[in-house]
Amino acid sequence: MYLVWCAVVFTVFMVLFLPFFMLPLFFGERTGGKIALAFIRAWAAIFSFLTQIRYKVVDRRKINRKQTYIYVCNHNSYLDTPGMMLAIPGQFRPLGKVEMKKAPVFGWFYPYLVVMVDRSSPESRRRSIMEMKAKLKRGISIFIFPEGKMNRTPQPLTDFYDGAFRIAIETQTPVMPMVMLNSRRLMPRDRFEMRPGTITTIFLDAIPTQGLSMADVPALKQQVYEMMKAKLVEKRGVAAY
C-alpha cells in the first residue's frame, strides 16, 4: 500500500506541474528553465513530505553560488532524482539516458529538462558533450552520474566513465563531488518495495581543473573516485549506500 501511495503522489503532482516543466520550450532555457526547475523542486519537496522520505543536505556551504560546476554523484536508486533536485542550488542540467523518455508521464517533459544521451550511439554521445559544454559556457552547471547507471553491486561505487572529467578539463570547470546515502535501502533495486526514511546528500570539496590537460583525465577521475568512495565507506555504519 505504501508503494502504491508513493506512485500515486509521484504521478499526480507530476501531471499537475507538467505545463510548468515544459516552460523552457516556450520562454527559452534561462528564464523558462529557471521557473521549470523551481517547480521540479516543489514537486520533489511535495513528494518528500507526503511519502515521509526525507532529504537531508550536508555541507552545501561548500558551493560557491557564483561558480559553475560539474556535479558528480553516486547512483543507487530512482530516489536519487528528487535528492539531487533538492540538494543542488541554482541552475543546472542533468545528463539523462534516452531510455527514460519511455517512462509514463516522466518521459513527456524529460527531454526539455535534461541533456539527452544514447550511450550506444557515438553520434549521440558527441552531441551531448557539445550541449553540456554550451550550457557551461552560458553559466549553467551540469550534473552527471559518472557510473553511468545504477549500482547493483555490493561495492560502494562502480567504475567511472571519463566523460564528466574530460568535459571538466576541456572547459576548465571545477568538479563538485557529492554522495547520496540510504537511497538503496529505501528503494532496493532487487525487490518491489519502498519504505520511508531519510536520504542524506553530502557535498565534498570542489576540485579545480585550471591548468589541467587531457593527459590528467585518468588522475582526476581517480581522485574523485577515491574521495567519494572514502566518504561512502566512512558513512556505511550510519546508512547503507
Number of structural domains (the chain) is 1
Q: Is residue 12 part of a domain?
A: no
Q: What radius of gyration do the chain's Cα atoms show? A: 17
189 contacts 152 by C-beta, under 8 angstroms: yes
Give the domain CATH number at 79. 3.40.1130.10
Residue span of the structural domain in which 170 resides: 54-235
Q: Is residue 38 part of a domain?
A: no
Q: Is residue 241 part of a domain?
A: no
Query: If you search the block for the grid coordinates 518491489, which residue do you land on?
Result: 192
Q: Is residue 107 part of a domain?
A: yes
Q: Is residue 34 part of a domain?
A: no
**Confidence (pTM):** 0.90
Nearest of 224, 39, 236 to residue 145 by alpha carbon = 224
Q: Is residue 214 part of a domain?
A: yes
Q: Is residue 36 part of a domain?
A: no
Q: Is residue 175 part of a domain?
A: yes
Collect all residues with Cβ–Cβ distance below 8 Å to 109 and sequence separation of at least 6.
Answer: 18, 21, 22
**pLDDT per position in the chain (241 positions), as tens?**
898 999 899 888 888 887 777 776 566 666 777 788 888 899 999 999 999 999 999 999 999 999 999 999 999 998 999 999 999 998 899 987 776 666 666 666 666 677 877 777 788 788 888 889 989 999 999 999 999 889 988 899 999 999 999 999 999 999 999 999 999 999 987 777 889 999 999 999 999 999 999 999 999 999 999 999 999 999 876 555 6
